[in-house]
Amino acid sequence: MFEILTKEMLTPIICRMKVRAPRLAAAAQPGEFLIVRADEKGERIPLTISDFDRKEGTVTIVTQKIGASTADIIAYEAGECFADVVGPLGQPSDFVKMSPEELASQRYILIAGGLGTAPVYPQAKWLKEHGVPVDVIIGAKTKDLLIYVDEMKEVCDNLFVCTDDGSYGFKGMGTNMLEHVVAEGHSYTQAVIIGPMIMMKFTTLTCKKLGIPAIVSLNTLMVDGTGMCGACRVSVGGKTRFACVEGPEFDGYEVDFDEAMRRQGQYKAEEADVNEKHVCKIGRGK
């Protein structure tokens, strides 16, 4: 069993949990994901690893309440246990495989939208620990939806925060913030973009215009996390790829975002039906 050591609601619908999982923590790398099953009959939920501590044997997950199964996960409290936590799965971020010489020539800009800020955090942390210059852009609709702002300040060289309504930081979207930062004289060899699919599409287009190579994470496409269900199929460079076994990170220039967004929306009717009928199975009255 996998004990929840701490639980914190970052927003009314986004929850951060630290879970005891020594073997997983020992092997985890930025960019990888794990699968949580709340109870023995629970759905397999893929979640990108938001942090890990090899010494204390823990991994951190951040879950947004979007459906019945994520609601069940969030209903758990510190001291209770999940039935299963499996991982690490998927491929680690490209920079993990680089030599020290390659890393020395890099300057990264990590661009996070909404919940995508959580998986960006371990990437920024890893790069900072390995002496690689890294700046981060965090974007959200409003101040109340921003997460990891204080934590991110500790693991990057420059943090740029923007909100659509201007309630915190720069007023505008991540694409506007990126153009502004580059116009101020910042230059980058690589961008990593994690967030909603539509955000990744237009941020990739902005990176292309600015001449910055872009990596995107297609973790939101994953369902069972093994490649067996086929839900995470996506066209990358004209070839069919599976986000859960070959990704979740791919060259943003080559991703067919329109196809990915169509695939992402194919189960919306079924999800809405399940959410309407859902009663929390955890028995906590939530």
DSSP secondary structure, 117-162, as one string: HHHHHHHHHHHHHTT--EEEEEEESSGGG--SHHHHHTS-SEEEEE
Dist CA 53 CA 21 (whole Å): 10
User: Could you give the count of Cα atoms lying within 13 Å of 19 in the half-sphere of its Cβ?
Assistant: 34
pLDDT computed for residue 266 by the predictor: 56
Contact predicate 224/246, CB 8 Å: no
The pLDDT of residue 285: 40
Q: Output the pTM of the full model.
A: 0.88
CATH numbers and ranges of domains, the chain: 2-89 (2.40.30.10), 94-217 (3.40.50.80)
pLDDT at 220: 77
Pull the structure tokens for residue 6: 């701490």
What would the two tokens of residue 243 be? 């986000």
Burial class of 109 by CB neighbour count within 10 A (0 to 12, 13 to 18, 19+) = buried
Average pLDDT by stretches of 10, the chain with 286 residues: 94 94 95 91 88 96 90 94 92 94 96 94 96 96 94 96 93 94 96 94 97 92 69 85 85 92 64 49 48
- Burial grade of 194 (CB within 10 A; 0-12, 13-18, 19 or more): buried
The predicted pLDDT at position 181 comes to 96
Which of 211, 209, 233 shows the shortest CA–CA distance to 222?
233
**pLDDT number for residue 234:** 85
How is residue 255 written in tokens? 């991703």
